Structure 1
Amino acid sequence: MRKTLLIVLVSFLTIPLTITGASVALPGIRAELGAGLAATQWVVNGYNACFAAFLVFAGSLTDVLGRRRVFACGVALFGVSSLAGALAGDIVVLNLVRALGGIGAAAATTGGSSILAAAFDGRARARAFGLLGTVLGAGLAFGPTVGGLLVEWLGWRAVFAVPAAISAVVLSLVRVLPRFGGGEGRTVDWPGAALFTTSLLLLIFALDEGPALGFGSPLVVGALAAAVLLASLFVVVERRSADPMVQLDLLADRRFLAFALAAGALMGILVPLVVYLPSYLISVVGVEPGQAGLWLLMLTVPAVVLPPAGAALARAWPVTTVAASVATSGLGALLMVTVGPDSAPVGMLAPFALVGVGVGLSNGVLDGLAIAELPRERVGAAAGLFNTARLAIETVMLAGAGAMLAALSGGRLEGEAFTGALHTVCLALACLAAVATVCVIVLARPAPSPEAASPMRTESKKNVTDW
């Protein structure tokens, strides 16, 4: 089983790397391919949107087709798309293959995690998923640094070529993985999958293209209207489906909803900063890509090293820890307005570190808190919905931040215009954190009476919060 664990962990390392690592490559991509800001944003947003949109759908395919098959197909698609991205000579081609890479990453993620869930039991399973979380966190945290060094030494194409090479190695070892069949009697929720995927992609399209086309243009307005309509139909279809893709009634659980919003807000703050700060440091501050990646360690390292401390705090004060984590990241985003063209690393330390500390103290904690007191038979569905909500919020915030930067800077990520636009985005992220903090405090506090408590949670003496 050690080989199984190693193969899955190696495959997971490349998935966040191509999100945060690609962010350092954006200035080089714009320069070499002659792409505009809106088109270049799709390099990151297209991948992230498809990853979020297809994650739960890929989980349904895993139940029906089998874990190893979905994992292998996902790794193959991710690897081929990464190689095509490294060879792309046109921004449209690059964006298309990046979107395919997001679909492959979704399949590899769901297939790999389900393989680990089936291959390990008890404490061994807990250790396996603990290592999985560490690998994902490391890929997200060190992606800008690795990507910056690759861009500086080998050019932006190396950011996609290296994951392609790693995927080829993983694919050659897939035959070592144990075979697990699909779920008996499970079916793919095709209507739900189509509605959710299309509505999210239309929303991202409207946000990305709005600054260039105008948010009042018929195409953008139509995309937004269609996204809202399809999202509404998705809710109706899922409530009536005998085997829904996601169980939306879980959102009626106040604590689950609170922690899902907190997780989405934290990633919605961290990821846009990790994606767009490298462009700012390179284009405005004037540092090299490798140096920009190293400076971002001030932001990302706390997110990797602090989860054990956050877990210890959450055992005693769960709601306070989560609320304080979101507020801390929001404070860091607020202090980002002090970062300017003449800023030195020491001047960036406080805002960068505060964002990372907030994420680190809650990373790995929120998932457990959200599902801790749900009935055992609902844990799997809850975990799927939790991850979907977190990724959807992250993806929308990433696209929204890009739209704000493009609109406020006039499509030119350079000079004072970029600085002012970035400061406005940081203020918006701070507002998001403030709203999410209030939601956590209000929604996660104890119910006033047993009758008001959520019927989905089991009776447990552990149902105690500190707020």
Structure 2
Amino acid sequence: MRPRPVWLVVLATALPMFMATLDNLVVTGALPVIRTELGGSLETLQWVVNAYTLAFATLLLTASGLGDRIGRRRVFVGGIVLFTAASAAAALSTDATTLILARAVQGVGAAAVMPLSLTLLAAAVPPARRALAIGIWGGVSGLGVAVGPLVGGAVVDGLAWQWIFWLNVPFGVLAVPLALVVLRESRGPDRRLDPLGLLLSAVGVLAVVYTVVRADAEGWGSARTIGGLVLGAALLVGFTAWQRRAAAPLLPLRLFRSRGFSAANATAVGFSFGMFGAVFLLAQFLQVVQGLSPFEAGLRTMPWTLAPMVVAPIAGILTGRVGPRPLVAAGMVLQAGALAWLAAVTTVDVSYGTLVPPFLLAGVGMGLTFAPIATAVITGVSDADHGKASGANSTLRELGVALGVAVLTAVFTANGSYAGGQAFVDGLVPAVWIAAGVVAVGAVGALFLPGRRPTPVAVEPPVVPVPA
């Protein structure tokens, strides 16, 4: 079979990613409208966001493992179908409970799309053009980040909130046949399921993410928070121990012998924690403190959100020439500097012109980070392990996002509040300083990424457990 054009492969794998990214961001901006029309408490409506996040983060590793066993394209397409159907159900919801259930199902579909998108892309593109393809894929996927605040703002400013979900339906209808025609089916070397590994990983991640999401409301020192974190940690330690013994492990621990894989994941956690935790608060600053409408705030963040679309494809091209290390390190340094800049200049009456340079710097840094990290994750392991590697990376990044939002919100709450502009800034500034520090630590981790030609980890036979 003749190889498909790179642009067509990128479109087939990135379009579903665009749907999932766009939908997650626009819902946050549309919550006020949804609350007005459907009713419900503020805590109930928070679950419109949290239901998606929990299902998504919990099942990423499970979905990639199932893809290795029963077919990556099959699970990927199934995820698109599920996400599209759940989007229609969300648009038709007449109460908050139904909407929350639909959002949870969307999260399940997105969990099948996210890790397998990169795996299928890597399998369909020759190694010589893989870095370029991943760069374009990152730019297209980043479009959801760029237009998400704008679409969400337009909804809040007067459009029917149902359209944030109806928009997914035509994308899904196009994405399914495109994936079936363009992408080839592939599987991992392990065809047997690891049911205990699936259970331990899913419940462990669920316990950690749920506890972190609820920690700000429950209190970080409360018995529920401590108990939830201890339970999640115990389950994940049990998962790690089982993976050493499993005949067909869901996540072979030998992958972490790859310096590129380990360093890329550590850097990705720092990136997700710092940047997305800070964005969560900074996006609110423009509305709460400066009185802008959601749409106006979305427009003003464009220097930040559009830059990755331009920079990511360029970074993808350069990755094949210079390797991921200098690009990711530079990107993380730019992002840490941008956050420190924002923390230093943010006041109640700061002018928009003062914010544009650090916004742009942060966007360029994100563009330099997206594609090279994805490249480092899969080129540091064998082709047969791409699905497992991508699933692990996606899971760790989502844990970083959840931790970043929760921890930085706790810092914000300890130092400020929503009581007024100055109170908001008093909480925002220390939180952004901490975000800058975490991203700076991630920049140090990026120095351990491989050079231009990372060596894949050799595939070793699985260790069969010996009965006691």
Range class of TM-score, shorter chain: 0.7 to 0.9
| Count of residue pairs the alignment pairs up | 450
Mapped pair 1:105 → 2:143: no
Q: How far apart, in 1, do the equivalents of 2:431 and 2:46 lie?
A: 15
Q: How far apart, in 1, do the equivalents of 2:390 and 2:184 lie?
A: 23
- Amino acid aligned to 1:401: L
Q: Give matches, 1:13-24, under 5 Å.
A: 13-24=18-29
Q: How far apart, in 1, do the equivalents of 2:71 and 2:385 lie?
A: 21
Contact 1:269 1:329 (8 Å CA) reproduced: no
- Amino acid aligned to 2:26: G
Q: How far apart, in 2, do the equivalents of 1:63 and 1:382 lie?
A: 11
Q: Give matches, 1:262-411, under 5 Å.
A: 262-311=267-316, 315-316=321-322, 318-337=324-343, 338-372=345-379, 374=381, 378-405=385-412
Q: How far apart, in 2, do the equivalents of 1:11 and 1:317 lie?
A: 28
Q: How far apart, in 1, do the equivalents of 2:293 and 2:421 lie?
A: 16
Q: How far apart, in 2, do the equivalents of 1:155 and 1:335 lie?
A: 37
Q: How far apart, in 1, do the equivalents of 2:281 and 2:38 lie?
A: 19
Q: How far apart, in 2, do the equivalents of 1:437 and 1:173 lie?
A: 38
Q: How far apart, in 2, do the equivalents of 1:207 and 1:429 lie?
A: 17
Q: How far apart, in 2, do the equivalents of 1:413 and 1:35 lie?
A: 23
Q: How far apart, in 2, do the equivalents of 1:172 and 1:361 lie?
A: 32
Cα deviation, residue 374, structure 1: 4.6
Q: How far apart, in 1, do the equivalents of 2:185 and 2:323 lie?
A: 39
Counterpart for residue 83 of structure 1: 88
Counterpart for residue 441 of structure 2: 435
Q: Cα RMSD between the aligned structures?
A: 3.5
Query: TM-score if structure 1 supplies the norm length?
Result: 0.82
Q: How far apart, in 1, do the equivalents of 2:227 and 2:192 lie?
A: 32
- Shift of the 200–402 alpha-carbon distance from structure 1 to 2, 3 Å rule, reads farther
Cα deviation, residue 331, structure 1: 1.8
Cα deviation, residue 413, structure 1: 7.7
Mapped pair 1:51 → 2:47: no
Determine which of 220, 237, 241 is the counterpart of 1:236.
241
- Amino acid aligned to 1:248: L
Cα deviation, residue 432, structure 1: 0.6
Q: How far apart, in 1, do the equivalents of 2:227 and 2:429 lie?
A: 30
Identical residues among aligned pairs (%): 31
Counterpart for residue 205 of structure 1: 210
Query: TM-score if structure 2 supplies the norm length?
Result: 0.82
Mapped pair 1:61 → 2:66: yes
- Cα offsets for 1:420-445 (capped at 9, x unmatched): 3222321221121122223334x458
Q: How far apart, in 1, do the equivalents of 2:197 and 2:388 lie?
A: 15
Q: How far apart, in 2, do the equivalents of 1:281 and 1:179 lie?
A: 45
Q: How far apart, in 2, do the equivalents of 1:29 and 1:129 lie?
A: 36
Q: How far apart, in 2, do the equivalents of 1:180 and 1:318 lie?
A: 28
5+ residue gaps in structure 2?
460-468
- Cα offsets for 1:332-374 (capped at 9, x unmatched): 1222223344333212112322221211122211232345455
What secondary structure is seen at the aligned counterpart in 2 of 1:244? Answer: coil
- Cα offsets for 1:35-85 (capped at 9, x unmatched): 666554443343234323312211222233334432332122212322333
Counterpart for residue 192 of structure 1: 197
Q: How far apart, in 1, do the equivalents of 2:54 and 2:419 lie?
A: 22
What secondary structure is seen at the aligned counterpart in 2 of 1:364? Answer: helix
- Amino acid aligned to 1:398: V
What secondary structure is seen at the aligned counterpart in 1 of 2:292? Answer: coil
Cα deviation, residue 116, structure 1: 4.7
What secondary structure is seen at the aligned counterpart in 2 of 1:56? Answer: helix
Q: How far apart, in 2, do the equivalents of 1:200 and 1:65 lie?
A: 23
Q: How far apart, in 1, do the equivalents of 2:314 and 2:131 lie?
A: 18
Counterpart for residue 450 of structure 1: none
- Amino acid aligned to 1:419: V
Counterpart for residue 158 of structure 1: 163
- Shift of the 232–101 alpha-carbon distance from structure 1 to 2, 3 Å rule, reads same
Contact 2:131 2:316 (8 Å CA) reproduced: no
Q: How far apart, in 1, do the equivalents of 2:48 and 2:419 lie?
A: 16
- Shift of the 302–457 alpha-carbon distance from structure 1 to 2, 3 Å rule, reads farther
- Shift of the 179–248 alpha-carbon distance from structure 1 to 2, 3 Å rule, reads closer
Cα deviation, residue 14, structure 1: 0.8
More divergent stretch after superposition (283-292 vs 309-318): 309-318
Cα deviation, residue 118, structure 1: 5.4
What secondary structure is seen at the aligned counterpart in 1 of 2:191? Answer: coil
